[in-house]
Each structure stands twice: as structure tokens, then as C-alpha cells.
Amino acid sequence: MATPDLNAQPEPPGPASPVAERIAALRELLRVHAHRYYVLDEPTLPDSEYDKLFKELQGLEAACPELVTADSPTQRVGGKPLEQFVSVRHQVPMLSIRTETDTEPTGAQNFDNRVRRELGLSDSDPPIEYVAELKFDGLAMNLRYEQGVLVQAATRGDGEVGEDVTQNIRTINQIPLRLPASAPAVIEVRGEVYMRRADFEALNERQRERIAQGARGEKTFVNPRNAAAGAVRQLDPAIAAQRHLSFFAYGVGEITPPQAGGPVFATHYELLRTINSWGFPVAAQTRIAQGAPELIAFHEAIGRQRDRLPYDIDGVVYKVNSLALQNKLGFVTREPRWAVAHKFPAQEQLTTVLGIDVQVGRTGKLTPVARLAPVFVGGVTVTNATLHNEDEARRKDVRVGDTVIVRRAGDVIPEVVSVLPEKRTPGAPIFSMPGACPVCGSMVVREEGEADHRCGGGLFCPAQRKEAILHYAHRRAVEIEGLGEKLVDQLVDAGVVRVLPDIYRLGLNALAGLDRMAEKSASKLFQAIKQSRQTTLPRFVFGLGIRHVGEATAKALAHHFGTLDAIMEATQEQLLEVGDVGPVVAKSIRTFFEQPHNREVVEQLRACGVTWEEGEPAVTVTKPLSGKTFVITGTLPGMSRDEAKDRIEAAGGKVAGSVSKKTDYVVAGAEAGSKLVRAQSLGVTVIDEAALLTLLSR
């Protein structure tokens, strides 16, 4: 197919052939539905139907390349990668707007006072009408249309000269390639290219996967603005298309006199409504505001919404609505007197890492936390920021003494965004998770395929004390009716219960003395504790809170081994003989009972009179796939992946979600993806469904 000249003007219409008429109809239909989908967020056509129409248009244009035009929906991603960007001089400079340094509501009052003073208005004069808009955290863009066709997109640059990024901007579905006939012969629409937060997170997730697979030169992005700016400045438009950019319009640049019957703008708000009717997205929050009080109300309302918006903003913008008054006010040092950017408190600031502490959560999860030099971010003083886990801390390479960028958005826990390595003290050590729990000294474990480290002293660790008691007292575990969260908080916070056996040492008087505990309630709880001494082995094993051991696994362990001592002394190989136990669960059980603290708590519970009936171990039946780990990828011809998983587990095997050196078999079906590639790189045995059925039949 011949490459069309994307800057060429459409030829005057001649006699239309049936093919040309169909192409024109398809283009218009696709434009209408794309506008409803990308701009109005009100799709009326299923994706599959849209795809059919699009493919039909592609086929017709391939057969008749002479009919391809720059404004065709098929040309959103087209052209070869550029060697470099061409400079563009703006016909009307893209000037910056003054920033109001007062981030409080009084900043709006300051702006209104200045405007009224410049216009010579007194307090008795009526309020000035403004347009209040969002201040997007993206990349300013100038879109030039000639005879209704998008011919050029240019970055702001230094305000006078920008870069031609037309090929990349064509990939943004929210930007129309053609305007209606009522549009001026030449008009430049200006707005902001940005990336929605969901698209940003998806992009970074894809980047992390590429990095994990060993791709070179890949990185994650610090924030949506950087990701959007990097996408716009890609020399290959196909790469830019993968970033899923978005656009909001907020004004115009050069504009010729409108055609007969076309728009004549008197106000900025009227201008926005008109370009919105042409297909450009305009933020729904845009409002007309009468005087300073309504500007202040807008600033406060958007501030409350800020963190719930699907995209980043760093403030709001106020503009005098009347274009005649804008002309009268004019400019000062190349900034308009009739507009101002009123920012919110910064959500990112620089500070220093004073130390890295490790916190232990209620479930035993260890979280590294950067201790920071106090810094004011997003309206509060921040002294700590989460590093999430060891992998994240190392990926960002956060070290003690580093200068870092800290971000806080709304009620979200502050986090370290990135490090300034050029300011690092030489020799600063790389962070590593401790080998022992910083609270109780128990062994720290990290299970294969998991990002988190955990304390192994679940029954002993003070950080996990409340969670351990609540789990033990659960109605499906040992069950102590009436021992709920508020009561456990009281008992632990008062130091009455330090470990599980202390529950059985509580007297009636001690319970009655608790806050809001009546004598009758204390008596009922005392009796419930007494009754819980007689339980069953599955309930007791489940009540210990061993990671990955649920009710079904506890029952399987009790049935298989018969006694608690046998479970506590079982090796990993012996544990794997239990039908409901795989490698991860077996290792978790062994780790739990290898901790002296946990064994001591179990013995104390026994000494406190907790008993259960025990029996003989079940007859061991060796299953054909015992001890083998499988990974399933792709589509199998004769069974679903869930069916394959059930059959493997019924035969004693374990099905994992990712491929590692410990994987025994990868079962690959049609369209197998990255898991197959990884299996081949690690030398893991790859089999098909037929080979799996052979293994199952042994």
C-alpha cells in the first residue's frame, strides 16, 4: 500500500464511485463511534462491531490507496519512525500563565483583587465573571487545523519554538483528525496531553515484567507526566500508541475569521463549548464563577476531589471569561493579566533518608519504612514513607543518607518515588531485610514467588499477638465465644494477655474488671474459655494460624498423621504425602514448628488443659505425581486449565503460577506465552496434554 502524505490537503470532491462513497460512510461512522467511546465515554457499539467496520475500511483503502487521506481513522498510527523532530515556530506564542504562590483559598482572592484593580473597579461594582478550570499535570500541545484537517501538532517548547510531534499525536483517539465544516479555515486548538493513572499503572506493570524477563534498557516511570512526555517524544509512533495517551482542550492559538455562519466568540466559556462540540474533550469540572467567593469555592471543591480523579492535576486555573476584558487587561512580562494558575500544596518534595526501619504487621509481614527528615508534602508534615518490600526498596535503590523525592496524595501512605543518586554519599550500603524479626527475634522467611518477608514466630511475636488470639478464638478454630476484637485490644494493651496460654490463666475477677465488662458478660466469657479447653485436633491445628494452613488442610493433616506430635515432627517429604499439602504449605508448616517459641506456646496450651482426641495415622497411599510441581500455560485441547489443575492435585502434584528452577513440568497448550519461554530458558521439561494424561495414568 502506498504511504499517503499525511500533511496533504484533501482534493476537491469529484464524481464519487461506490467504493469512495462506502469509504466516506465508514470513516464518518467510525469517527462518530470513536468520539462516543473516547470523548463522551458513552459507547453505543460493541468493540467487535467497531473492529469489523475498521477492518472493512482498511481493506478498501488497501485496494484503493489513492483514496487514503490524512483524516482517515486508519492513519492514527502510520508512517515510518523519524530520525529526529523538526522545529516549529508558533504563529501565536504559547505563553506561560502566572502561578499564584499562595496555595490557600486566599490565593483566589488575591487574583480577583489584582484584576479589579487593573480594570479600575470599586467595591460597589458587580463581580467579574471567570471561567474556572483544572490545571492538568501533563504536556502542553498546539494542534493546527487547516481546512478542517489536522496538519500539525507541536509541543510548547520555549513558547516561541516547539517540536513537530504530529505522528505521535495522531495516535491519541480523543483528538479529532477532521473538524466540521463550520470550523475556521485555520485554527489552532491548544490543550494538555496526559496519561490517566490506570494507564500509567498498566504501563509500569508491563515495564516491570520486561525488566523481570531480562529486557535491557527498560525502566519504570516516575509519574504519569514523565511517561506522557516520553511517549510524545518517541520517534516511533507505534511505541507512542502503546502508551495510551489522553487529551484535554483548554484554548486556541491562531484563528482565522470564521466562515459565514461560523462561530464568533465573545467569551472564553463559549469558545470551550464550541471546540467541545467539534469533538475535543473539555474537563467536565470547568465552571463559570462569579467573583472571588465562587473561585474560592471551586478551589476547595476540586481540592477535595483531587485524589479521586482518574488523572493528575496540580491546581486550578482562573481566566476572565470576557474576551473583550482579556484584551483590555493584556499582558505583563509575557504573562496574561487575565489568567492565573492557583496550585494546591505540592504532593512531591525533596528530603533526606535518615534511616530505614522494619515494621512488623499484625499478620507478620515485614515492611521497610524510610525514616525521613521532616518535609511538608500535600498539606501535612511527613516523617516516614513506605518502601513496601525488599524488592521495591532495591529497585528504587533507596539507601540511608540518600536525597529522595517523596510523594503523598490524599490519605495514601507517603512513598519514596525516586532517588537522586548524584547526591549519594559514597559507600552507602544497599538495604537488605534482616534475618531475624526485629520484634521477637524469630526467623524471617520469604516464600518462593512472594515479594514479602514474614516473621516465623506467629504465636510468640508481640506484633502479631492480637491477630494470633483472634484467629485462635475464631468459631471455626478453637472457638471462644465472646472474645472479639475490642476485648482482645483491651487484654493485650493492658498487658493482661501476652501469649495465647495467658487466656486460660484469666480469672473471673480479672475479666469482670475490664472496661465495659458486666459481671454476667464476664461469667459467660469465663465459661466459653473453659469450654474451649476441649477441642478437636483439626480445630487446634487451624487455630495455630500456620500460614497457608486452612480448615481443609488442618483436617487432612489430622487425618493423615493422627497426632499433633507426629505433625510437629514430620519432615517436608512426609508432609508432602498429605493430599492437601504441596511444597509451599509443607515448608510453611516446617518453618512454623522449627521456631522454639511456637513449640513452647503449644506445650503451654497443653499444660493449661487444652486437649483433643487423637487417633492412628492413616494408611499412606503413594500418588503418581507426589512431590512434582507443574505449571500450566496456553489452551489445552481436551480440558480446561482448572480441570488439569484438579487432576494434577488429585494425583498428588502441585500446580504453581510461575516457572522456576524447581518446576518439574510445564504443560503447554496453544498460544503458550512467556511461561513457555522461561521454561525453555531454564531447561524445564515441557509436555503437552497427551504427555500429562500419560503421567496421570501411572
Query: Which pLDDT value is given to residue 9?
Result: 42
* Residue-wise DSSP of 589-658: HHHHHHSHHHHHHHHHHHHTT-B----PPPPP---TTTT-EEEEESB-SSS-HHHHHHHHHHTT-EEESS
Task: Using CA atoms of 287, 291, 296, 297 in order, give the dihedral in degrees to the nearest 10.
Answer: -50
The angle that helices 106-119 and 291-305 make with each other, rounded to 10 degrees, is 150
Instruction: Report the candidate in 496, 562, 555, 558 with the shortest Cα–Cα distance to residue 529.
Output: 496
Give the residue numbers annotated as catalytic, written as ranges. 135
Mean pLDDT of 552-576: 93
Question: DSSP assignment, residue 73?
Answer: G
Where is average pLDDT lowest: 76-90, 412-426, 465-479? 76-90
Grid coordinates representing 442 are 524469630
Predicted pLDDT at 187:
94
Mind listing the pLDDT tens digit for each residue in 512-527? 888 878 888 899 999 9
Angle between helices 689-696 and 641-650 (to 10 degrees): 20
Residue with cell 467536565: 284
Grid coordinates representing 503 are: 487466656
Is pLDDT above 80 for 65? yes
Listed residue (13, 47, 80) closest to 173, CA to CA:
47
**Confidence category of residue 1, pLDDT binned at 50, 70, 90:** very low
Q: Which of 333, 123, 103 is nearest to 112 (CA)?
A: 123
Cell 534475618 found at: 435
Type and span of the H or E element at 299: helix 291-305
Residue 32, pLDDT above cutoff 90: no
What is residue 466's DSSP assignment?
H
508, three cell numbers: 473471673
Task: Report which DSSP code applies to 374.
Answer: E
Per-residue pLDDT, averaged over 193-203, amounts to 91
d(CA 113, CA 677): 66
pLDDT at 138 over 80: yes
What is the 8-class DSSP label of residue 693? Answer: H
pLDDT digits (tens, 9 = 90+) for 243-260: 889 999 999 999 987 655
Q: What is the C-alpha to C-alpha distance for residues 44 and 581, in angstroms, rounded to an integer?
A: 50
**Residue 110 reports pLDDT greater than 90:** yes
Topology classification of domain 99-343? D-amino Acid Aminotransferase; Chain A, domain 1 (3.30.470)
SS3 call for 223: coil
For the purposes of burial, counting CB atoms within 10 Å of the CB of 177, is it exposed (0-12), middle (13-18) or buried (19 or more)?
buried
Section 278-307 average pLDDT = 94
Q: CA-to-CA distance for 334 and 13, rounded, in angstroms?
A: 44
- The residue type of 376 is F
Residue 352, all three cell numbers: 533526606
Reported as a pLDDT band with limits 50, 70 and 90, residue 2 is very low
Query: Are the CB atoms for 129 and 321 separated by under 8 Å?
Result: yes
Q: Please state, in angstroms and rounded to a whole number, the distance separating the CA atoms of residues 30 and 36.
A: 10
CA 421, distance to chain mean position in Å, is: 25
263, three cell numbers: 462561530
SS3 state of residue 350: strand
**What is the structure's pLDDT at 519?**
87
User: What pLDDT score was predicted for residue 141?
Assistant: 95
pLDDT tens-digit profile of 392-408? 899 899 999 999 988 87
Please, which residues bridge with residue 287 across strands? 132
CATH says 629-696 is which class? alpha beta
**Average confidence (pLDDT) over 313-337:** 91
With a CB cutoff of 8 Å and minimum separation 6, the contacts of 245 are: 171, 172, 193, 194, 195, 199, 228, 231, 232
> Which amino acid, 54?
F
Query: What nine digits make up the cell of 233?
Result: 517524544
Average pLDDT over residues 188-193: 96
CB 48 within 8 A of CB 107: no
Q: What is the pLDDT of residue 101?
A: 73
Task: Give the right CATH number for 18-75 from 1.10.1200.120, 3.40.50.720, 1.20.1440.130, 1.10.287.610.
Answer: 1.10.287.610
Q: Which residue in the block uniquely carries the three cell numbers 514474614?
A: 454
Cell of 406: 517523596
How far, in Å, CA of 216 to CA of 572, rounded?
A: 39
Cβ-count burial of 396 within 10 angstroms (0-12 exposed, 13-18 middle, 19+ buried)?
buried
Does the pLDDT value for residue 457 go beyond 70? Answer: yes
- For residues 298 and 132, the answer to whether their CB atoms sit within 8 Å is yes
Residues 197 and 407: their CA atoms lie apart, in Å, by 15
**Among residues of the chain, what percentage have pLDDT more than 90?**
49
The pLDDT of residue 622 is above 50: yes
Burial of 620 (0-12, 13-18, 19+ CB in 10 A): exposed
**How far apart are alpha carbons 181 and 125 in whole angstroms?**
41
Superfamily of domain 481-621: 5' to 3' exonuclease, C-terminal subdomain (1.10.150.20)
Examine the pLDDT at 469 and tell me if it is beyond 80: yes
Pairing assessment for the beta strands 161-163 and 665-668 based on DSSP bridges: unpaired
3-state per-residue secondary structure call for 183-209: CCCEEEEEEEEECCHHHHHHHHHHHHH
pLDDT band at 7 (very low <50, low <70, confident <90, very high): very low
Q: Which CATH number fits domain 348-423: 2.40.50.140, 3.30.1540.10, 2.40.70.10, 3.90.1150.10?
A: 2.40.50.140
Average pLDDT across the chain, whole number: 87
- Grid coordinates belonging to 655: 500446580
Domain layout of the chain by residue ranges: 18-75, 99-343, 348-423, 481-621, 629-696
Q: Is 327 exposed, middle or buried (0-12, 13-18, 19+ CB in 10 A)?
A: exposed
Is residue 626 within 8 Å of residue 653, measured between CB atoms? yes
Whether residue 83 is predicted with pLDDT greater than 80 in this model: the reply is no
Helix, strand, coil share (%) of the chain residues, nearest 5 = 35, 20, 40
Distance in angstroms (rounded) separating the CA atoms of residues 614 and 537: 7
Give burial (CB, 10 Å; 0-12/13-18/19+) of 641: middle
Whole-number Å distance between alpha carbons of 119 and 133 = 22
More confident residue, 373 or 61: 373
Task: Give the model confidence (pLDDT) of 646-685 as tens digits.
Answer: 889 878 788 888 898 889 999 999 888 888 988 998 999 9
